[in-house]
């Protein structure tokens, strides 16, 4: 099967400059998307999810820095390589761009070959990252499918900690903490931490998170609930905390897990 052309979003307010970039990229076989200001650029990035973004800094409505900040805050667009094409090439501007998460910075004027080399390098890095990302996702998916089928497999078989794990299993969705578990089983938090650590190599809070994450995966896969609703049902006070903890645990956001599950279902449906 022939690989589809890579999509590149060009955000540039100068019409002649924008068209020059677009024409050069089309000649090289890229699919191009254009935006004449930062606001449209954000909308185009979210709608089309390009493989790479080329962006001027000084733009009307929303400048390049704001475009970058907005896209980096969204887990779906945060992984798209972002290259600034800027009129100013001072070390201060370069440092500011890189500190805010830009992947590269080219000072105008530059030749087409420089631009193509920068694009090629960023796409190669992205491919490597996505390959590792996909492998981590597949590994997590296989492990969690087993745990989802039998949630108690989340916990180690340690008879001495049966009361601990039973309490977590019953109350994990209520926002419990180490202190709650310790009180329920009649130990001090310090003693329970030491005991659980020696017997399992993990903390009590880690076991709570593990059980919550397994439940989260099941809800993301089977329920048509928002991220906020799932977070609330698992005892989180806000969706940001839930999403951050999910990402820390798996290495990718909950939206990616849900999308992966949907893609799998579609593939299974198309082959059945």
Both tokens assigned to 244:
């951050």
Question: What's the pLDDT at 2?
Answer: 41
What would the mean pLDDT of 83-110 be, rounded to a whole number?
A: 84
CATH number given to 150-271: 1.10.10.60
- Tens of pLDDT, residue by residue over 194-228, are 999 999 999 999 999 989 988 898 888 888 889 99
- Tens of pLDDT, residue by residue over 12-71, are 999 999 999 999 999 999 999 999 999 999 999 988 889 999 999 989 889 999 999 999
Higher pLDDT, 216 or 139: 216
Give residue 236's pLDDT band: very low, low, confident or very high (50, 70, 90): very high
pTM: 0.54
| Range scoring the smallest mean pLDDT among 18-22, 86-90, 187-191, 246-250 | 86-90
Higher pLDDT, 100 or 204: 204
Q: Does the pLDDT of residue 132 top 70, yes or no?
A: no
In the chain, where the domains are located: 7-131, 150-271
What would the mean pLDDT of 233-243 be, rounded to a whole number?
A: 91
CATH number given to 7-131: 3.40.50.2300
Q: Does the pLDDT of residue 265 top 60, yes or no?
A: no
Give residue 271's pLDDT band: very low, low, confident or very high (50, 70, 90): low
């Amino acid at each position: 099967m022939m690989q589809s052309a890579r999509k590149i979003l060009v955000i540039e307010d100068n019409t002649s400059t924008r068209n020059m970039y677009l024409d050069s990229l089309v000649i090289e076989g890229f699919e191009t998307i254009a935006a004449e200001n930062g606001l449209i650029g954000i909308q185009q990035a979210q709608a089309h999810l390009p493989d790479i973004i080329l962006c001027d800094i000084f733009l009307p409505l929303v400048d390049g820095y704001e475009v970058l900040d907005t896209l980096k805050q969204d887990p779906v667009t945060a992984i798209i390589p972002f290259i600034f094409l800027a009129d100013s090439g001072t070390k201060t501007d370069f440092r500011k761009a890189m500190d805010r998460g830009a992947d590269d910075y080219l000072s105008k004027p530059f030749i087409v070959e420089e631009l193509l080399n920068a694009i090629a390098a960023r796409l190669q890095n992205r491919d490597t990252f996505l390959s590792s990302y996909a492998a981590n996702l597949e590994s997590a998916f296989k492990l969690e499918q087993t745990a989802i089928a039998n949630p108690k497999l989340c916990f180690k078989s340690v008879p001495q900690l049966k009361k601990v794990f039973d309490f977590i299993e019953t109350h994990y969705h209520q926002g419990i903490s180490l202190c709650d578990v310790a009180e329920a089983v009649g130990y001090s938090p310090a003693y329970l931490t030491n005991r659980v650590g020696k017997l399992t190599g993990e903390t009590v809070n880690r076991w709570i998170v593990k059980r919550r994450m397994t439940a989260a995966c099941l809800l993301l896969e089977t329920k048509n609930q928002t991220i906020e609703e799932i977070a609330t049902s698992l005892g989180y006070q806000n969706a940001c905390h839930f999403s951050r903890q999910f990402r820390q645990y798996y290495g990718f956001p909950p939206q990616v897990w849900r999308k992966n599950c949907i893609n799998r279902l579609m593939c299974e449906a198309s082959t059945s």
